[in-house]
Structure formats: C-alpha cells, structure tokens
C-alpha cells in the first residue's frame, strides 16, 4: 500500500490513502480513503476515475506581445507628430535613440502629476506620468512661476503638453517651452 499527499493548505494537510491494483487488468481502479472523522470510526471511500498518463506539452511559437508589435526604436519621421504621443511611448522611443529625438517638437498625452517651481532658474516643470500609479516620464519646462490650470488638476488623465525635446534629467524626457494644449 502506498500513501499519497493529495492536498496541502496553510492550516492543515489532507492525506489520502491509495491502493492500486496491478496485474492482468490494465484499467485498474484507484481506491482512495479519506481519514476517518474524529467523531466515529466510519471512513469515506470514493472511487477515483481512471487517469490516463500525462502527455508532454507541445512547443508552440510565442504569441507576439504588445512590445513586439510596437518597435521601441521608432524614429521621429516614423511617428505622426501632428497627433499626441502617449507619454510611455515617447519615453521608450526617446531612450532607444536620444540623438534622433532631441530638438523635435511633440505633443505628449499623459496623466498630470503636478508642477515644481525652481527659484534658481525661475522655471516651472509640469510632470506627466504614464498612468495614475505609473512612473513620471515627461517633464515640461515653462518660464516663470506658473500654476497648473484648474482643469488639469480636476481631470488629471489625458493632459496634453506640447514642447521641444531637450536633454533628459531625473530620468525624464524634458520638453522645453512647454504649454498645455487641452487644459485652460
């Protein structure tokens, strides 16, 4: 007789006794007995269905992912720059080929994170994230101390900035001379 563990949980283990009949009958059945309940000597006897051997998995071609369908190294002339580019896409394209993207004027759509003012340079940076809990990937620079439009604060998703791509810092794509395109 062999013992087989058929289930475990954090709180208890379930052991099932199995007995296999072998010999002339190729379609032998497996009899499983559960442990007897603590209230009495009766045991639950169940018949398990015939189990066929497990077949080896077949190797299939990988399914193309979104990343495979969106080449990371798109150059500015391969992207319609008259339409807003999603912040995460611009970030990917820019860091794949920074030199090609520097100096390009683009519109970027993303999730408005907030603004930061630098008194040393008298500029305000508008930060866009990929999504509400996403990474901050775009910073738009505006001259002077600017306050974000109330509409950008009220509806943070889908904010569009327009500006010229400059040298990155803090791991962000920087847009110089940025302006809000769809918030007033």
Give me the residue spans of the domains in the chain. 2-48, 66-180
126 pLDDT more than 90: yes
% of the chain beyond a pLDDT of 90? 45
The count of other CB atoms within 10 Å of the CB of residue 21 is 10
**CB of 37 closer than 8 Å to CB of 51:** no
- In Å, how far are 24, 92, 126 from 83, measured between CA atoms? 74, 17, 20
Listed range (54-63, 104-113, 130-139) with the worst mean pLDDT? 54-63
Residue 149: predicted pLDDT? 84
Residue 150 pLDDT greater than 70, yes or no: yes
Of 125 and 29, the structure prediction assigns the larger pLDDT to: 125
For 102, the token pair is 């520097």
Does the structure show a pLDDT above 90 at 113?
Answer: yes
Q: How confident is the model at residue 141 (pLDDT cuts 50, 70, 90)?
A: very high
Q: What is the pLDDT of residue 136?
A: 94
Statement: residue 80 has pLDDT above 70: yes
pTM: 0.60
Task: Tell me which of 3.40.605.10, 2.40.50.140, 3.30.420.40, 3.40.50.300 is the CATH number of domain 66-180.
Answer: 2.40.50.140
Average pLDDT for 53-76: 57
Whole-number pLDDT of residue 73: 75
CB distance 102 to 149 below 8 Å: no
Among the listed residues 160, 107, 110, the one whose alpha carbon sits nearest the alpha carbon of residue 136: 110
Q: Which pLDDT belongs to residue 107?
A: 96
Distance CA 23, CA 164 (A): 80
Mean pLDDT for the chain overall: 75
Residue with tokens 């289930």: 7
Residue 143: pLDDT above 70? yes
Provide the β-strand partners of residue 140: 126, 175
């Amino acid at each position: 007789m062999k013992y087989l563990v058929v289930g475990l949980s954090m709180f208890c283990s379930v052991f099932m006794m199995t007995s296999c009949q072998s010999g002339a009958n190729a379609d032998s059945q497996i009899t499983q007995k559960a442990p007897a309940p603590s209230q009495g000597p009766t045991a639950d006897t169940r018949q398990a269905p015939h189990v066929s051997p497990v077949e080896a998995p077949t190797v299939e071609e990988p399914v193309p992912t979104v990343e495979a369908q969106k080449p990371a190294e798109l150059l500015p002339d391969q992207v319609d720059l008259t339409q807003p580019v999603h912040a995460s896409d611009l970030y990917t394209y820019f860091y794949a080929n920074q030199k090609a993207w520097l100096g390009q004027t683009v519109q970027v759509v993303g999730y408005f994170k907030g603004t930061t003012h630098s008194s040393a340079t008298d500029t305000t940076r508008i930060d866009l994230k990929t999504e509400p809990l996403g990474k901050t990937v775009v910073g738009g620079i505006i001259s002077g101390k600017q306050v974000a439009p109330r509409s950008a604060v009220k509806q943070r998703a889908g904010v569009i900035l327009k500006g010229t791509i400059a040298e990155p810092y803090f791991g962000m794509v920087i847009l110089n001379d940025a302006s809000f395109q769809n918030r007033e």
